[in-house]
Structure 1
Amino acid sequence: MRWACILLPQLALDGVLRRHPEPERPLVLLAGTPQRRVLQALNPAARALGLRVGQTLSAAQVISRDFATAEYDPAQIEDWQRLLAAWAYRFSSQVSLDYPRALLLEVESSFALFGPWPRFEARLREELGTLGFRHRIVAAPNPLAARVLANAHNGLAVASAEELRQALGQLPVERSGLPREMTTALLRMGLRRLHQLLALPRNGLARRFPAELLRHLDSLLGERPLALDYYQPPDRFDLRIELNFDVESHQALLFPLRRLTADLAAFLAGRDSGVQRFTLHLEHAGREDSQVPVGLLGAEREAGMLFEVARGRLEQLQVVASVRSLRLVAHDLPAFVPEHRLLFDERPQQNLPWQQLRERLRARLGDDALHGLSARADHRPECAWQAQTDAKPGLAGPTGPRPGWLLREPHMLQEAAPRILAGSERIESGWWDGGDMRRDYYLIETRSGQRAWAYRAVGDNGPLLIHGWFA
């Protein structure tokens, strides 16, 4: 088997930066008591000012005041890690969160679908970069070795047991994943590299150290299986972004909304499902949340479409009070069936797909402004269709040719002898509701080349009446 470890060394900072409107500006995360605020993490722009981790806020403000602050929240770290686990679930059914700030996933079973490891790794890095998370990736024959090697490497791929033993042997003992007291004892014995430890007799190590040492070494070499708890995606999506300042306009909510819909799309891709209904919660201070329900005609999971539909709904809401945070909740997550497309799409690049255009129009104009047509069980042309607002299929239509444009009132054909292409098709119906009709219909072509659907009453030899036009 082949396992990959995705190490996320700056998960807390990346989680804040990805929802910050100006991520390139100096930013620090604060922890500690209200009396003693300490810099817990900072971005490269803040480091360029001379700030460092562990510095007190008062000392940092002596150096510079040109930096923004945010709270270091351990609970948010777990939320981001679960979100990334949902994203990774699309690539592997075995995803583990057993190690903090890291994802372990079995990847060899997915090579047939995503290609060999170099191509697979490039895709993982591209999508993680799009999501806004810095990372290190290492592949190894077992999960513990992948996690330990990620402490010192980025991009390393180990395939065989010999390569694994050699790569592990070069690791410093303090980076081997052993407990701190055990590492201190090994360093005092003069053991600096892991290959020195592996060269010692097992009997001597068993007498001097707890059994945990040998178990750890055996798991690193793949000689002892490692028990992992595997991630199972939840049946609902619930994510909240707390804003840095009070927002009173729709425009300022678009940036966090785009992040929320992108995270929802990543979550849905991992579950191989779509979303048909979700709710935006605009949280205010001192009053109830404003809720914006968003409904789609079919299950979707494309990030751009979800954002456009949610934006259209949001712009219709009157913001009654300043917004402190934005939350997206989705319970209805049906199975997703991808749209059937041609191998070579001839649609112009600037044109929208029909599904996206349909949802955008519904969001802007309202649910009742756009509807489709479905067939009814009635042979009379003017009664054979009905307006349809949902996505359920209607009854099957007639088998014969029918025009796309049916006239509200038939009018007399001015030409004396049009060319008859098909017909006659007799329709007799409506005797039960007072709308009795008996007509013979013809498919005709006029002198100008237009095709029409025309009729005359049964037994009547008079002029034809045009009832509709074909495209």
Structure 2
Amino acid sequence: MRWACILLPQLALDGVLRVHPDPATPLALVTGTPQRRVLRALNSAAKALGLRPGQSLTAAHVLTRDFTLVEYDPARIEHWQQLLAAWAYRFSSQVSLRYPRCLLLEVESSFALFGPWPRFEARLRRELTALGFRHRIVVAPNPAAARVLANAYDGLAVANQDELREALGRMPVDRAGLEREAATAFARMGLRHLEQVLALPRETVARRFPAEVLQHLDTLLGDRPLALECYRPPDEFDLRIELNFEVESHQALLFPLRRLTADLAAFLACRDSGVQRFTLHLEHRDLPETRVPVGLLSAEREAAMLFELARGRLEQLQVPAPVRAFRLQARDLPAFVPERRELFDERPQQSLPWEQLRERLRARLGDDAVHGLAARADHRPECAWQQDAEGPQAPLPPGPPRPGWLLREPMPLRDSSVRILAGPERIESGWWDGGDVRRDYYLVETRGGQRGWAFRTVNGEGPLLLHGWFA
């Protein structure tokens, strides 16, 4: 087996920057007591101002006040780790959050699906970058070794035990995952690299150090298995973004909305499911939250489509007060069945599947503006269809062609040059419900070349009555 360790060195900062409207502006995470506030993490723009992690907020304000402060929240780190674990679950069934700010996933079993490791690694990096998280990735024969090697390497891929022992031997002792007291003791003995520690007799190490030291070394070398608790994705999605300032316009809400729907799409992909209903919650200062339900007729999970549908619903809303936080909840997560498409599509960029077009129209125009039609078992044309039928629909019965445009009321056909192309086709029906009709229908063509469907009552006289037009 081969395990990948994805180390997320600035997870808390990345979690803030990915929802910030302008991540290029100077920003700092602060922590500590009210009496002593300390800078915990900084983006590159803040470091360019001369600020540094560990600096007191008072000293930072002496240098400059031109930076944004955000409270460091350890709970958000756990939240982002859970989100990334859900994302990683689509690539491997064995994903672990054993170590803070990193993901462990078994990757060798996935090579047959995602290709060899260089291609697989490129995809992981591409998607992590799109999600907005900086990272380092290392592969090793066991998860503990992968985690330790990620302290010093990025992009390292260790294939076997010999390479693993060599790579571990080059690791500094103070970065090998040992307890601080043991690492300090080895340094005082003049042992700077792990290969020097591994060269010591086991009896000497066992006599002078706690048993956990040898256990850790054996785990790194793969001689002692590491028990891991594997991640399992939850049954619902719930993500909240607290905005840095109160938002009053729909346009300013699109940035967090895009991030929320992208995270929802990543979560759905890991569960191999879609979403049929989700709710947007707009939180206000002094008013109850505003809920924006988004419903789909079928399960979907494409990020761009989810964003467009939610955007259409949001733009119809009159926001009653400035928005302080944005939340997306999705609990109806049915199985997702991918759409069948042709292998060779001539113009995929100019085509839009009917399901997506239908949902976009419903989002833009409202649920009551888009309706579906279905056939009914009735020969009378005005009764042969129904609107918004529920359940599976039976196919149209075989028979003569019918016009695509049926007039609301038949109208006399005054054109004397009308030519009859086919007919008559007699329809006698409706005696049981009081709507008895007895008609002879004809396929006609006008002087301008239009084809219509006209009838005359049985044994009746007068002009033909036009009932519909053919496309």
- In which range does the TM-score fall when normalised by the shorter chain? over 0.9
CA deviations 1:98-156 (Å, max 9, x no partner) are 11000011111111211111111111111111110000011111111111111111111
Cα RMSD between the aligned structures?
2.3
2:398 maps to 1:396? no
CA pair 195-436 structure 1, distance change in 2 beyond 3 A: same
Which one is further off, 290-299 or 459-468? 459-468
Cα distance between partner residues in 2 of 1:217 and 1:431? 91
CA deviations 1:264-284 (Å, max 9, x no partner) are 111111111111111111112
The answer to whether the 8 Å contact 2:418/2:447 transfers is: no
Cα distance between partner residues in 2 of 1:203 and 1:9? 36
Cα distance between partner residues in 1 of 2:397 and 2:444? 19
Secondary structure at the counterpart of residue 349 of structure 1: helix
Secondary structure at the counterpart of residue 349 of structure 2: coil
The answer to whether the 8 Å contact 2:418/2:444 transfers is: no
CA deviations 1:391-426 (Å, max 9, x no partner) are x43333222233322233345475565333xx6655
Question: What are the within-5 Å matches in structure 2 for residues 411-450 of structure 1?
Answer: 411-412=412-413, 414-415=416-417, 417-420=419-422, 426-441=426-441, 450=450
2:156 maps to 1:140? no
TM-score normalised according to structure 2 size: 0.93
Q: What letter matches 2:72 in structure 1?
A: Y
- Give 1:369 shift: 0.8
Q: Give the aligned partner of residue 326 of structure 2.
A: 326
Which one is further off, 453-462 or 56-65? 453-462
Secondary structure at the counterpart of residue 252 of structure 2: helix
CA deviations 1:228-265 (Å, max 9, x no partner) are 11111111111111111122222222211111111111
- Give 1:449 shift: 5.7
The answer to whether the 8 Å contact 1:370/1:389 transfers is: no
2:157 maps to 1:162? no
Which one is further off, 91-100 or 399-408? 399-408
CA deviations 1:208-244 (Å, max 9, x no partner) are 2222222222221222221111111111111111111
Cα distance between partner residues in 1 of 2:357 and 2:35? 54
2:179 maps to 1:202? no
Q: Give the aligned partner of residue 306 of structure 1.
A: 306
CA pair 69-461 structure 1, distance change in 2 beyond 3 A: same
- Give 1:438 shift: 3.7
Secondary structure at the counterpart of residue 123 of structure 1: helix
- Give 1:83 shift: 0.5
Secondary structure at the counterpart of residue 146 of structure 2: helix
CA deviations 1:8-34 (Å, max 9, x no partner) are 000000000011111011110000011
2:29 maps to 1:29? yes
- Give 1:81 shift: 0.6
- Give 1:464 shift: 6.1
- Unaligned segments of structure 1, at least 5 residues: none
Cα distance between partner residues in 2 of 1:159 and 1:397? 61
Cα distance between partner residues in 2 of 1:25 and 1:357? 38
Cα distance between partner residues in 1 of 2:370 and 2:9? 48
The answer to whether the 8 Å contact 2:30/2:72 transfers is: yes
CA deviations 1:360-405 (Å, max 9, x no partner) are 2222221101111112232222111111176x43333222233322
- Unaligned segments of structure 2, at least 5 residues: none
Secondary structure at the counterpart of residue 178 of structure 2: coil
The answer to whether the 8 Å contact 1:374/1:393 transfers is: no
Cα distance between partner residues in 1 of 2:389 and 2:60? 60
Cα distance between partner residues in 1 of 2:449 and 2:112? 55
The answer to whether the 8 Å contact 1:25/1:45 transfers is: yes
The answer to whether the 8 Å contact 1:419/1:446 transfers is: no
The answer to whether the 8 Å contact 2:421/2:442 transfers is: no
Secondary structure at the counterpart of residue 166 of structure 1: helix
Q: Give the aligned partner of residue 191 of structure 1.
A: 191
Secondary structure at the counterpart of residue 156 of structure 2: coil
Cα distance between partner residues in 2 of 1:55 and 1:259? 31
- Give 1:430 shift: 1.0
Secondary structure at the counterpart of residue 23 of structure 1: coil
TM-score normalised according to structure 1 size: 0.93
CA deviations 1:169-220 (Å, max 9, x no partner) are 1111111112111211222222211112222222332222222222222221
Cα distance between partner residues in 2 of 1:380 and 1:113? 55
Cα distance between partner residues in 1 of 2:362 and 2:140? 49
Q: What letter matches 1:394 in structure 2?
A: Q
